[in-house]
Each structure stands twice: as C-alpha cells, then as structure tokens.
Structure 1
Amino acid sequence: MKDLIERLERATGPDAYLELDIANHVAPDGYWSVLTAPRYTESIDAALKLFEHGLPRGLHLYRNTAPDMGGKDWVVSHQSPTTRVAARSWPLALCIAALKARDSSAPRSLEKLEAGR
C-alpha cells in the first residue's frame, strides 16, 4: 500500500495504471483491466467511493495557492495537520487520503479520518 500511495503522491494527472492498481487493492476479487477499472485518479466521484464508510465528517477540501506547494495545490485535510495531503488534482488528493485511511500502518490520526472521528 505504501508504494501505491507514494506513486499517487508523485502522479501529475490521471493514470489508468494507477487506477488499475487501486482497483486491484480495494477490490481484489474483481476482474480489472485498464479499460474497466474505475477512474479514481480522474473522477472526484470515483475517488470519493474509496472511503469505505462514506465521506468522513470534518473533511476539508480546498485549493492552496501558496507558491511553496510545488504544484500540489489541491488539499484534503481532516482536523489535524497529520491528516493533510496535497496533490496535483482533487481526485489524486482524495485517493491518497482514502488509501492512507485504509492503510493499517498509517498513524492513528489517519485511521480517524476514515472513521470520521
């Protein structure tokens, strides 16, 4: 999972192969291909479906225009700086946040993101 999250953090836009890897990770029993995997890195709606228990309360989505963001202007955060992720698009930021919330090795604060606490 860590490798997948790191690849998402480096992504610059939609990527069918990342979407395939995400689909294989979250629904390993599916028969996925680059043509059939949900467009997680392209679609906000698809990325939101990665949150297992629905969109957590207190989730903030915003665009940061500070010059020090290095092009990663799209931010998802949840009540503490440790749950903040930034990416080059909303779908990418949502994918990263959702997968970090699913990752059992993530810090407790990221697990709270999924639970909406």
Structure 2
Amino acid sequence: MNLQSLNSPRYASCIQACSACAIACEVCASECLKEEDVKMMATCIKLDRDCADMCRLAEALMARDSALVDEICRLCAVACQACAEECSKHHHEHCQQCAQACQRCVEECESISMAA
C-alpha cells in the first residue's frame, strides 16, 4: 500500500469515510439478518453489501493512486446514496448509523470526483 497516498490530503479523508462506511454497511447487513422480518430487510442487505464492496474498491484505488479514482469515487457515491436512502427508511439503530456513514461517504467521494 502506498502510504504517501494514504497521507495525501486529497485522499485521506475519503479513504477514512470509505472505510467507516464499509464497516457500517457490514454491521448493518449482519444486524438486518437478525431482524424478525428478514424478508422486509432484503433490499437493505443487498445495498449494504454492494456499498461495502464499492467502498473497499474505492479505498484500494485511492491507496494506489489509480487513474480510475475519479470514476470509482463517482460510482461509490451512487452506491452509498442508494444505501443511505434505503437505510434511512428503517428505524433500527444499525440502519440509522449506516445511513449516516453512507451520507458522509457520498460527500467525500463527490468531493474527489468533482475535483477532477
């Protein structure tokens, strides 16, 4: 991993937001699977998993200072926004925390993709 990229002011905040979002999404998906009506949580779980994967990919591409950072951050913001919107519909604490982490990640990823 390129530690210089991790320390880069351009990416550091976004990498942290992506990491926190991926963790929040994994926690949310796991907790959703424990809910009484799991079927009602299916969309939330799917979006949690998609979002976590996108965040991890964005982290990796930023860490290696890939030429694809702008595009992956744009797509990551889309995935995070969809997840935030779905999670915010549910009143479970894990969903609300996930929605907040996703929204922060949207803002960070958009700041990277718009800076291009």
TM-score category, normalised to shorter length: under 0.3
Higher helix share: 2
Q: Looking at CA atoms only, which structure, 1 or 2, has the larger radius of gyration? A: 2
Q: TM-score, normalised by structure 2?
A: 0.26
Q: TM-score, normalised by structure 1?
A: 0.26
